Amino acid sequence: MPESEVQPHPVKEQLPGVQYCVNSPPPWAEAIVLGFQHYLLTLGITILIPSMIVPQMGGGDLEKAKVIQTSLFVSGLSTLLQSLFGTRLPSVVVGSYTCVIPTTSIVLSRRYNAILDPHEIVMGFLGLWRNVARLLSPLSAVPVVTFAGLGLYHLGFPMLAKCVEVGIPELIIFVFISQASAIAFLSVVFILRNEYGLLDEQKPPTTQISCRTDRSGLIRTAPWIYMPYPFQWGKPTFNAGETFAMMAASLVSLFESTGTFYATARYGSATPVPPSVISRGVGWLGIGALLNGMFGSLTGTTASVENAGLLALTKVGSRRVIQISAGFMIFFAVFGKFGAVFASIPLPIVAALYCILFGYVASAGFGFLQFCNLNSFRTKFILGFSFFMGISVPQYFREYYHVQSKDGHGHSHSGWFNDVVTVIFMSHATVAAIVALILDCSLSRENDSTRKDSGLHWWEKFSLYGSDVRNDEFYALPCRLDTLFPAV
């Protein structure tokens, strides 16, 4: 047998097979179709968070529609800012599901606060998060990226199962076809089917709410034209304890967004993101969180995991496509009646997509294993232990700590402290990342062979912005804005 046939697959710094990379836009017609599909995908989390929180605030369908439009508007602005001045990756910015716990606590406290948290802005633009990112090796990056996808499993099949009549067929179609054009097509088919009453009227009310577009109330109540504006719900008030809870949610968002940035760069066929660029992107996520607070969007910001997965599904990682999707977000946020038609897509349809797209992001993390020595017991221990703790610890806090705190038997009399602990330790990505980072930095890392086992010998050339000429190709700011926001 020839020697070449028994060699392992070669290491690839950039993912091959991508049709359009970060700075390689497809034709305008194709870019518009793909941008519209990215817009449709953002509706899932944009609808889910207000649907959970607005009713607890005493709001009806009209208020929910306005909050959804506001969230979509701010996501469009934040996505444009991120693609132009942040990481410059094809990364969509959406509301953070992590903020649901502290936001719910604020709602239940009977005070209506809009907390403007500068935490991410400071962490990003002052370069603090850059120093954290520089500690990462390919080995410790694996749990960060992998759990950015796997950590959101509860938004996959459990949400799909609320309407198996819709979710299961779409999941099967996507598994066997995996064509991006099916996203828009199937969504329209299910909208028409449900609008014309083809779903059994005898189904239980909870099933009909999950399955039918005409039960959401959005199309009926959404205003034709609505322009969100700052402080539209009133002036902000502040509470120190709740601010700490929001800061904890922002910290979790940093870990999850960092993993998503790495996955986005991979599926955009770019080089690994330099720590300074990640820090710059985190700063602009903070600007997005500030906008969310000013406009009253109920949540913070994070890099969208599902949209990173769609880059892999379509094999198109173009920055222009994401900028077009941001344009759709802003347009349909202002012209609400048109956007409500698509916002009424049943969440089980979106959940079926999540099952595939989150899996793509998780697999991007496994891709970094090609730079590690998998025959090293140190590598096996760090991977296995961080994965196990990333699954086990959040499960404990979800089943016991969080339940006790809500029953009034929590481990602290301070509700905000319970929220801080719960938000951090219920995040699979955060727990796995912290465990892997600590172990990788402490277990004989200075040894030359250990550094090679972790892949540091390969990673170091990407740790400084100027160390690879390709960084200017993918991450350079336009119009010499690098003088204002330098990447060093």
**Three-state secondary structure string covering the chain:** CCHHHHCCCCCCCCCCCCCECCCCCCCHHHHHHHHHHHHHHHHHHHHHHHHHHHHHHCCCHHHHHHHHHHHHHHHHHHHHHHHHHCCCCCCCEEECHHHHHHHHHHHHCCCCCCCCCCHHHHHHHCCHHHHHHCCCCHHHHHHHHHHHHHCCHHHCHHHHHHHHHHHHHHHHHHHHHCCCHHHHHHHHHHHHHHHCCCCCCCCCHHHHHHHCHHHCCHHHHCCCCCCCCCCCCCCCCCCHHHHHHHHHHHHHHHHHHHHHHHHHHHHCCCCCCCHHHHHHHHHHHHHHHHHHHHHCCCCCEEECHHHHHHHHHHCECCHHHHHHHHHHHHHHHHCHHHHHHHHCCCHHHHHHHHHHHHHHHHHHHHHHHHHCCCCCHHHHHHHHHHHHHHHHHHHHHHHHHHHHHHCCCCCCCCHHHHHHHHHHHCCHHHHHHHHHHHHHHHCCCCCHHHHHHHCHHHHHHHCCHHHCCHHHHHHCCHHHHHHCCCCC
Using alpha carbons only, what angle is made at residue 90 by residues 81 and 37, rounded to the nearest 5 degrees?
Answer: 105
Residue 26 carries which side chain, given as an amino acid letter? P
**Cβ-based neighbour number of residue 61 at 10 Å:** 16
CB 65 within 8 A of CB 218: yes
CA 366 to mean position of chain CA atoms: 18
**Cβ-based neighbour number of residue 485 at 10 Å:** 16
Q: How far apart are CA 333 and CA 339, in angstroms?
A: 7
Q: How far apart are CA 87 and CA 93, in angstroms?
A: 12
Q: How far apart are CA 385 and CA 433, in angstroms?
A: 11
pLDDT of 109: 66
CB 93 within 8 A of CB 82: yes
Torsion from C-alpha of 210, 215, 216, 217, nearest 10 degrees = -170
pLDDT of 308: 94
Q: How far apart are CA 368 and CA 266, in angstroms?
A: 10
What's the pTM value of the predicted model, to 2 decimals? Answer: 0.87
**Grouped pLDDT means (10 residues each) for the chain, 488 residues:** 63 86 92 92 86 81 86 94 93 88 73 53 70 88 92 82 78 69 53 50 54 60 84 76 82 92 94 91 91 86 92 92 95 85 77 88 92 91 95 88 54 71 90 93 73 83 82 79 50
Using alpha carbons only, what angle is made at residue 74 by residues 69 and 78, rounded to the nearest 5 degrees?
Answer: 150
**Three-state secondary structure string covering 156-206:** CHHHHHHHHHHHHHHHHHHHHHCCCHHHHHHHHHHHHHHHCCCCCCCCCHH
Question: Residue 449 to residues 212, 385, 438, 445, 463: CA-CA distances in angstroms?
Answer: 58, 21, 18, 9, 19
Maximum distance among all Cα pairs of the chain, rounded to whole angstroms: 75
CB 15 within 8 A of CB 266: yes
pLDDT of 196: 45
pLDDT of 81: 94
CB 362 within 8 A of CB 305: no
Q: How far apart are CA 303 and CA 350, in angstroms?
A: 17
Residue 385 carries which side chain, given as an amino acid letter? F
